[in-house]
Structure 1
Amino acid sequence: MLIKVFSFCKRNNLLLTGGMDRIIRIWNPYIPGKPTGMLKSHLAPVFYLHIAAEEKRIFSMSTDNTVKIWDLENHNCLFTACPKASGIQGELTACHYLSNIKALCVATDSVSLLHLRMRALPEPHLVVSHKEPIVCCRYNKTFGHVVSCSEGSVIKVWDFETGMLLSEFIGAHGNAEITCLTFDSSGRRLVTGGRDGCLRIWNYNNGHCLKTLTQDPSLCHVTVLTDSPYDFHHFWKPQPHWSDDLIRGHKDDILCVVQCPPSLLATSSYDGEIIIWNMISGHMYCKLNTPVLTHPSEDPEDRSVSHLTFLKTRAAKFESKAASLISNGQHIISYCLVKMNGLLMSTMYLYSFQSRGKSQISSMVVTTGDTCAYVADKLGYVYIYDIRDYALEGPEQEPPKNVKFWRAHVNALTSLELIEKEKALLSSSVDCTVRLWSMDGEYIGTFGQSELWDVFTSASWKHPMVPYEILMDPQSMPVHQTLAEDVSSLQIDHMEDDKGIQEKSSAKVGA
């Protein structure tokens, strides 16, 4: 163990050390023989440590420019900022925490200032499902359960029909944040992935971890899980790499993987590139949205694609011109996949997403028959689009018809799931809530509320009420047409003048 950095807090009588083994150790100076705790989450040697006693936080930074914030009392990792998110690039040379402005100053090729924004505790009258932001949630049709997980590595199991909390287990991935979850094909096993680079297979009814799959942290930073039609036991050992992936694959972190039976696989990455694969042979069919190299001095645009959805009723018809794959980002982009001379080609159709405040799309899901698309943005709004006959014969001039929209959360949605058999929509958000809606947007309830519901009895739903925090949030107010458009103050003055002239003319005519 080679120690490279330490921090001492006299108020709490704590000593922190970090070094080449990537582990932060917590010591009591009067008991030097053994650490009282260990924080394991960094994937590179620890370069900087600081104890902010007033905020009850620990700040750490590693040589890969990753910043982490820890809870001083329970040692949970509260926040992780990777270099892509923080924009810190270059070789790390120095760090310093500025307590008066609550900011971390980082020196590399340039100086960066990361401000700490303390999240306010939920107000007592507000209902929350977790104490920390929720990463994702899934519905288990085998048992009729809803499983949700939070950044605090807490997993909760809820009864879908009533909203009752059935069980919870904490520290699922130790101090590391859970990034994703799914079920095996039988629905009897829960699989979670975390920032510690591990996959864990659970009997989630009793919280017992059946198996932990580990990988060298240098090979994988973010784990993405998708449902597989095969039993998970066949995948305990990593499969051989695809040659096309090694030679021509993604150059940036992969954010999403989706499958379309029988053999199509689509992956998307942080730089916006999408690749279509033959899942059986590993052969690459085509690349979509390939990023263009920009000058380092230019402002980097967020091109990341974190969600892909196949329109499965169309994807198998390669001779059709219909759009069969959609992706998220600043716009919804739909792609037509066509076979020509035995090769799978693509055509891109772009249409703007009509969201409030030009907010980025965070999640999307389509109905089984590809008739409707449910799209969520980072302001917490959910939009329903009619796509039954949209882009069947090629590009469209207008976006699809917006059937309905409503505000489901006061912050960005992290997942959407349609439960079509029960005609319900499940949503989760970083606002710490998991909510259940009818497919028409009627509010059923929030998991964690004191009053239980009967999902099959509409009289027990919260509808026509809406969550209190949504009702009180200013961004839930209707948008005035003038405010929604990009107009200058000069244009507004002219509009007011024209309106005044029209009023005077009308008065003269009336006289």
Structure 2
Amino acid sequence: MVIGWREREGEPLRVSAFHTEKGTNDLDHHAGMNLIATAGIDNKVLLWNPYVISKPVGVLRGHMSSVTAVRFIVGKKQLISFSKDKVLRLWDVASQLCIQRIAGIFPKTQEECHTLLFLSEERSRLLLSFNSLLLLMEAKREEGRRVTSHENPVTCVLYNSLFRQVISSDSGSSVICWLVDTGQKVKQFHRCHGDAEITTMALDGTQTRLFTAGTDGVVKIWDFNGHCHHRLNAGRDQAVDISQVLVLKRTVLVMGWERCVP
């Protein structure tokens, strides 16, 4: 990819060449942040400083197919990207994190189509083209609404690097798995400990087994299909507030507020 620009009127044209693995479908420039965003055929959105051409200053990962279009939201320092599988993502440029994912609302097309984006920041409207079809999207501010991920207070959070998922539990005895790249909920297990609150969780060394402990004094061992393989009676049939579970090679240490380590 080669770009040319003039830093000031009347000055000679300056040229920079950027190398991408498979090429780009689209690009956009943010003058205030001095960044160029490229829509990669390799499913990545790259952020470039036009004065640093050796490598990108940021890589936005999350799209599962070729990225076809990118547009900066200049006023908010955000970036919109759209991919071939009709998934739109909104990125925070400073943190390089995806803050919203939209899919399933775009028209289905039988033939190959190239999508164009037109953004009106003043009217908060985004226009997308799908060959002969046009789709108009409008951003609306939702006042006074608080978005929550759990119906009950969150009690524990883990990260599973094997599946690249965040695992969270709550006082209502639910466990939810989230994709770290998109924030999408992928699995939810209800009433893992009945009416008892889940107080802590842990992963085994393979990260394929999840240990949950509740105020019922029980430690349960789960797979990620929601099947409970073992039930450990750590509280000896007593309601015990378990504070930590430590998984060793052949031993599981369970600690609580009853001054004992089972």
1:14-61 per-residue CA deviation (whole Å, 9 max, x = no partner) reads: 111122210111122222222222111111111101111113321111
1:229 is matched with 228
1:107 is matched with 129
Matched, 1:58 2:118: no
Contact kept, 8 Å, 2:81 with 2:88, in 1: the verdict is: yes
- Paired letter, 2:109: Q
Shift of 1:159: 6.1
Q: 2:40 aligns with which of 13, 19, 26?
A: 19
Contact kept, 8 Å, 1:135 with 1:178, in 2: the verdict is: no
Shift of 1:89: 3.2
- Partner secondary structure for residue 105 of structure 2: helix
1:98 is matched with 119
2:139 is matched with 117
1:146-185 superposed matches below 5 A: 173-182=179-188
Partner Cα distance (2:148, 2:94) in 1: 21
Partner Cα distance (1:61, 1:228) in 2: 37
Contact kept, 8 Å, 1:138 with 1:146, in 2: the verdict is: no
Q: 1:9 aligns with which of 11, 14, 30?
A: 30
1:315-352 per-residue CA deviation (whole Å, 9 max, x = no partner) reads: xxxxxxxxxxxxxxxxxxxxxxxxxxxxxxxxxxxxxx
CA RMSD in angstroms comes to 4.3
Q: Normalization by structure 2: what TM-score?
A: 0.53
Shift of 1:3: 2.3
2:239 is matched with none
Aligned pair in 2 of structure 1 residues 109, 13: CA closer, same or farther (>3 Å)? closer
Shift of 1:70: 1.4
Aligned pair in 2 of structure 1 residues 71, 102: CA closer, same or farther (>3 Å)? same
Partner Cα distance (2:36, 2:89) in 1: 18
Shift of 1:176: 2.1
1:427-438 superposed matches below 5 A: none
2:6 is matched with none
1:422 is matched with none
Shift of 1:63: 1.3
Contact kept, 8 Å, 1:59 with 1:67, in 2: the verdict is: yes
- Paired letter, 1:51: F
Aligned pair in 2 of structure 1 residues 14, 116: CA closer, same or farther (>3 Å)? farther
Shift of 1:71: 1.8
Aligned pair in 2 of structure 1 residues 118, 30: CA closer, same or farther (>3 Å)? farther
- Paired letter, 1:36: V
1:124-165 per-residue CA deviation (whole Å, 9 max, x = no partner) reads: xxxx5xxxx44456899xxxx46699xxx97766667xxxxx
Contact kept, 8 Å, 1:48 with 1:95, in 2: the verdict is: yes
1:463-482 superposed matches below 5 A: none
Partner Cα distance (1:203, 1:35) in 2: 40
Q: 1:89 aligns with which of 109, 114, 117?
A: 109
Please list every run of 5 or more consecutive structure 1 residues that lacks an aligned counterpart in the other structure: 161-171, 192-198, 206-224, 232-511
- Paired letter, 1:86: F
> Percent identity at matched positions?
20
1:79 is matched with 100
- Paired letter, 1:72: V
